[in-house]
Structure 1
Amino acid sequence: MMKKDQIWIGIVCVILGIIIAFQFRIVQRNYFHGMSPHIKSTELINEVSQLRSQKSKLQSEFDELDKKLKSIEEAASSDNIMINKLRSDAQKYKSFSGLTDVSGEGIIITIDNPPKDLNYSDDINIVYDYELIINLVNELNSAGAEAIMINNQRLTSYSEIRAAGNSININTIPQSTPYIIKVIGNKDTLDGAINQRFGIVSTIRSRGYLVDTKKAEEVSIKKYTGITNFIYAKTKE
């Protein structure tokens, strides 16, 4: 009887061994793709090591790109500063050349012919004495005038003031009385320069013409609208 029990126990053990081996192979196939746990563990360690290496490489590339981006941003900022300065300089030179509207403190001068009555001759006409206006402009420039406009005509280095029939041409445009001269600059200096004793205003009045001058906190002067073509003058490199 004991021998028979031992046989059955042996059979059961064999069956259990087969079942366990079968289950182990299933686990090995499903989770380790047929590899032993030791081999699979080694493979995972290698993959982790590779991923860490790739991460380190990508981080280095990112840091390098970040440095380049910051360098580009700094260069762009520097370029913007330079561009803004160039724009500011261009605007300043346009103002000096009369190519932009300007405003600021200054003075306003009005010159007119005297009333036509028995006390004045018909020959008294500022058109015939237009050089007085030229002299006035010269005095204003000497006193630091930054912009001058006569009857909405902005004066530039190309402007002409000359008699043309019964009017005065300014920038080739005929202008009639009264002549309203707007000037931007230090209002006290400008006013003092033209109103000094025996100055230009005194001279104009002595010829019988009406002259009014007043200081202004805000004088607006329009830009020069003419066209200047350079034919002989070339830019020197």
Structure 2
Amino acid sequence: MHRTNSSRQTVKNSLRVRKIHVYLTLVLLVFGFIVAYSVQLTMSGASNLPSSTKDNEWEKKVRLNEKLINEKETNENLEKRLAKLRMEVTAKEKELSERQTVSKQMLSRLEELRMRAGLIPVTGPGVAVTLDDSKSAHTFDNVAEGIVHDQNIRDVVNELFSAGAEGISVNGQRLIGGSSIRCVGPTVIVNDTKLAPPFVIEAIGDKDTLVSALRMPGGVIDILKQRTLEISINSSDKIELPAHVGETQTKAGVKPPVNQG
């Protein structure tokens, strides 16, 4: 009797489990149907978008692509323009540099010409030659033999120019092409300025060359010493010559000092 009750209980439990399985199966089927329907509805909705919406999306993409292409072309054109401008700037810089080089050369040449023309003061190495009357001139039968004449000064100046002097002054009077060195009575006149001995002739140039030219045996200094004139030659690393003051044109009938005789 006990075994029969147990069997009945087992059958009831088995039926209960089967019912649960059926319920679960039905629930899963319904859920699956709902999910499938939702997916289908979504896909159907997406595929059933109005054609105008699709067209708008396509037009946006087309316009965006066109804009990107236009911007790319614009950038390429700007890069080409920039490269061209850089080339133009480089060419202008080169041209300006060449002009500046030419200008510097012209200024340097002009400065050299002004210096040689005596229009500007100059400083440089050179020599100073001092000529003075003989201390015993008063004892000479001919006093003129013991004093410095314009010709003596011109001889020294000519020798210095021949040796390469770049500029010369006599007692502070700068010599130029139009300068004159002459005597009026007992007075020596340079650039229309009266000068008195001692006469200091200063020249800028290679000091060793200038000194060698002056001390040449049988040269101008040897000849002047034979007349017992007071003569001294001093080289220096710094000779200062003033600028010429006065007219710069050669006067009629007057030659440059290097050629006067």
With normalisation by structure 2, the TM-score equals: 0.67
Whether the 8 Å contact between 2:137 and 2:143 is mirrored in structure 1 is no
Counterpart mapping for 1:74-93 below 5 A: 74-93=94-113
Deviations along 1:172-194, one digit per CA (max 9) or x if unpaired, are 11111211111122323322322
1:177 to 1:201, Cα distance in 2 relative to 1, 3 A = same
Q: More displaced, 36-45 or 67-76? A: 36-45
**SS of residue in 2 equivalent to 1:109:** strand
CA contact (8 A) 1:160 1:170 kept: yes
Q: 1:108 aligns with which of 120, 128, 147?
A: 128
Unmatched runs of 5 consecutive residues or more in structure 2: 1-44, 253-261
Work out whether 1:60 is the aligned partner of 2:86.
no
1:40-92 Cα offsets, whole Å, 9 max, x none, are: 22222222221211121122111111111111111111111111111122122
Quick one: structure 1 residues 42 and 159, their matched pair in 2 at CA, closer, same or farther if it must change by over 3 Å? same
Letter in 1 for 2:188: I
The alpha-carbon distance between structure 1 residues 193 and 134, as it changes in their structure 2 partners (threshold 3 A), is same
What is the total number of aligned residue pairs between the two structures? Answer: 206
* Partners of 2:176 and 2:248 within 8 A in 1: no
Residues 89 and 117 of structure 1, relative CA distance in 2, 3 Å threshold? closer
Stretch of structure 1 that moved more, 113-122 or 39-48: 113-122
TM-score, length-scaled by structure 1: 0.73
Fraction of identical pairs, as percent: 24
Partner secondary structure for residue 248 of structure 2: coil
What residue number does 1:155 align with?
A: 175
1:192 aligns with 2:203: no
Considering only aligned residues, what root-mean-square deviation do their CA atoms show, in Å?
3.4
Provide the rounded CA distance (Å) in 2 between the counterparts of 1:101 and 1:63: 51
Secondary structure of the structure 2 residue equivalent to 1:36: helix
Structure 1, gaps ≥5 residues long: 1-19, 233-237
Cα separation, 2, equivalents of 1:176 and 1:230: 24
In structure 2, relative to structure 1, the CA distance for the partners of 1:82 and 1:122 (3 Å cut) is: same
Q: Which has the larger helix fraction?
A: 2
Q: 1:229 to 1:197 in 2, by over 3 A?
A: closer
Task: Kindly state the Cα deviation for residue 231 of structure 1 after the two structures are TM-superposed.
Answer: 11
Greater gyration radius: 2
Q: Which residue of 2 aligns with 1:14?
A: none
The answer to whether residue 70 in structure 2 is matched with residue 50 in structure 1 is yes
Check 1:145–1:231 CA distance in 2 against 1; reply closer, same or farther (3 A cut): closer
Q: State the AA in 1 paired with 2:210.
A: L
Task: Determine if the alignment matches structure 1 residue 183 to structure 2 residue 203.
Answer: yes
> Closer, same or farther in 2 for the Cα pair 1:189/1:47, shift >3 Å?
closer
**Cα deviations across residues 82-130 of structure 1 (Å, max 9, x unaligned)?**
1111112212222222222223322111112244896467944646x22
The residue type equivalent to 2:58 in the other structure is: H
SS of 1:110's equivalent in the other structure is: strand
Deviation readout 1:167-223 (Å, 9 max, x if unpaired): 211111111121111112232332232233343223323334211112223222222
1:131 aligns with 2:151: yes
